[in-house]
Amino acid sequence: MEKELLRKVQMTQLEIAKELKRVCDENNIRYFLNWGSYLGAVRHKGFIPWDDDMDFGMLREDYEKFRRIVTQKLDPAYCFQDWYIDENYALPYGKIRKRNTLFVEAKSPRLEENGVYIDVFPMDYAPQPQKERNAMNQKLLHLFRLKLMKCGYTPWMEEDRVVWKKWIGYLFYRFAALFISQRAIRDKFDGLIQSVPKSDVLYDQQARSYGVYLDEKWYRDLAEYSFEDTTFVGGKEYDEILTRMYGDYMQPPPENQRENRHQIMELDLGEEP
């Protein structure tokens, strides 16, 4: 994506993020910068120059409160999307999208809403023993892959190229998805992640093949961070959090890993011609 166009995408995402902030502030919901947006706030005081998304997190209790009110509280120019609202949306976290825009990724199907978005991740408790964490992660990953197949996602696509190793790897899930409903997968996933008693360990719902586990105490205290022309809150202990997430977080990645991470195939920012 060209730098000028990417910057326009980022400004649209920032606009959406300000709406998230407004809704949360007005309704006493705790949120925080997450992943690349948190790193961007610390390292760049805004977007990582080549980043094409924004990430926020909420502890599960706040996330569920947010889910209950968001459709009534959002400005009509925006909408919230998750797998309870859109059956063909396969991700275990939500998005706020801007209506009348288009932001279509290579691996995603056409959904009810396909606009420019920001991600909102629920943070859940993880089991204390590592063996139990690994077992739960594998169960979640299995359910997530079923949901991807049920919803028509194509994780084996790399822009316009098929990665055949992944295509073959998903054959089992494509077959198994024929015998389970969308709702059953969703309910099994959410039931499992919310079955863990409170602990000192958190992780967010991305259903990866590996888990990044964070200390619950890091999210007790939040601090304001400058981000472009505004501020957002994030965990006060940024060094501990970002080191856990990224290791040497002040070291940028190689240049060949800095563009179009989400493989955007169709883009329309809804601008006047």
User: Does residue 271 have a pLDDT over 90?
Assistant: no
Over the stretch 37-83, which tens digit does the pLDDT of each residue have? 999 999 999 999 999 999 999 999 999 999 999 999 999 999 999 99
- The chain-wide mean pLDDT, for the chain, equals 92
The H or E element that residue 247 is part of is: none
| Alpha carbons 14 and 6: distance in angstroms, whole number | 12
How many domains does the chain divide into? Answer: 1
Task: Give CA–CA dist 154/167, Å, rounded.
Answer: 8
Beta strands per DSSP E along the chain: 32-33, 55-59, 78-81, 94-98, 102-105, 117-125, 157-158, 161-162, 201-204, 214-215, 222-227, 230-235, 264-268
Question: Residue 159: its pLDDT value, please?
Answer: 72
Segments forming the whole domain that contains residue 36 = 3-268
Does 273 fall in a domain?
Answer: no
Q: Do the domain assignments include residue 23?
A: yes
Q: Which amino acid is at 73?
A: K
Does 121 map to a domain?
A: yes
Report the C-alpha gap between 44 and 52 in whole angstroms: 15
Could you give the percent of the chain with pLDDT greater than 90? 78
- Upper half-sphere CA count for residue 237 (Cβ side, 13 Å): 13
